Structure 1
Amino acid sequence: MTQPRAEERPGIAAAIVVCEGRVLLVRRRVSEGKLSWQFPAGEVELGESREDAAVRETQEETGLDVAAVKLLGERIHPATDRLMSYTACEVVGGTAHVADSDELAELAWVTHAEIPQYVPHGLLGPVQAHLDAMLTSGF
């Protein structure tokens, strides 16, 4: 049986959440290939925007309430072959914790210098540029 092509499967929306000089990363219970740590993310549901999916997934996975600020970009992820969108989000309430223990093992607020330890394969250019700006400017 052949795998569906990336464009035939729902896209994945990721939330880039920065707060107090750190970015939120989550570790899934089941790794996707080499991916262990990643941004809060999940499938875009029918009729849902990529930004709304990023907000919803963050709340479902971490209990954190965020608001979408800007779509940073999208690509076919080289490790998963899934269509990924990346949305910058700001915290509007709540405290981050593992809200979905079936999906997540843990979460971490990571400094700019720590990103390569958690995500050694690098980030999409616009995501890296956003984090460079947000995490080195004191936001």
Structure 2
Amino acid sequence: MTTETTTEQKTEKPPVSVAIIVDQGRVLMARRRASEGEISWVFPGGAIEAGESPEQAAVREVDEETGLKVEAVKVLGDRVHPKSGVPMHYVAVQLVGGEARVADDEELDAVAWITHAEIADYVPYGLFGPVQEYLDGALPHQLA
């Protein structure tokens, strides 16, 4: 049994919902204006507001951050992020319309459609297992 003591005040982090958007063999990543440690490239998303489901939050956040219109397909899973300590919900969404852009320049400074082979370059510490499995099935693999 281990006990942890901290001198920091414990603050509960609000849950976040992120959208996994696959289109034309690529997945959309967004670069946060302010990185959290190693985390700079993320899936578009943000805090779940009162009364929202993770699916509703993911759809709203994608619109606010990137200008894309999407529909929720399924929740891939949830966890407490091992690097940020934030409760996370991962939602697969389908692109309905729009062009990906930085729509919220206070939050983001870039967006990029990346291939399966580029995931490790953008997320060197690895993806959440269910998200990696989903992308393994949804994205074509290029042979090196």
Looking at structure 1, the residues matched to 134 and 10 of structure 2 have their Cα atoms a distance apart, in angstroms, of 33
SS at match of 1:13: strand
The alpha-carbon deviation at position 3 of structure 1 amounts to: 2.9
Aligned to 1:81: 85
Rg larger in 1 or in 2? 2
In the TM superposition, residue 119 of structure 1 has moved relative to its aligned partner by: 0.4
Does residue 96 (structure 1) correspond to residue 103 (structure 2)? The answer is no
Where does residue 130 of structure 1 map in the other structure?
134
1:66 to 70, 78, 83: 70
Partner of 2:3: none
Measure, in 1, the Cα distance between the counterparts of 2:51 and 2:132. Answer: 29
Choose between structure 1 and 2: higher helix proportion: 1
**Partners of 2:33 and 2:94 in 1: how far apart?**
25
Poorly superposed stretches of 4+, deviation over 3 Å:
none
CA shift for structure 1 position 33: 1.5
The counterpart of 1:105, out of the listed 91, 105, 109, is 109
Higher relative contact order (CA 8 A, sep 6+): 1
Gaps of 5+ in 1: none
Q: Which runs of 5+ in 2 are unaligned?
A: 1-7
- TM-score under structure 1 normalisation? 0.93
Tell me how large the CA RMSD over aligned residues is.
1.1
The one-letter amino acid of 1:129's match is E
**Among 1, 22, 25, which residue is 2:26 paired with?**
22
What percentage of residue pairs aligned between the two structures are identical? 55
**Over residues 70-122 of structure 1, what are the superposed CA-to-partner deviations in whole Å (9 max), with x where a residue is unaligned?**
00000000111010000000100111100001110100000000000000010
Q: Amino acid of the residue matched to residue 100 of structure 1?
A: D
1:29-62 Cα distance to aligned partner (Å, 9 max, x none): 1001210101001000000000100010000000
Across the two proteins, how many residue pairs are aligned to each other?
Answer: 134
Q: TM-score, normalised by structure 2?
A: 0.90
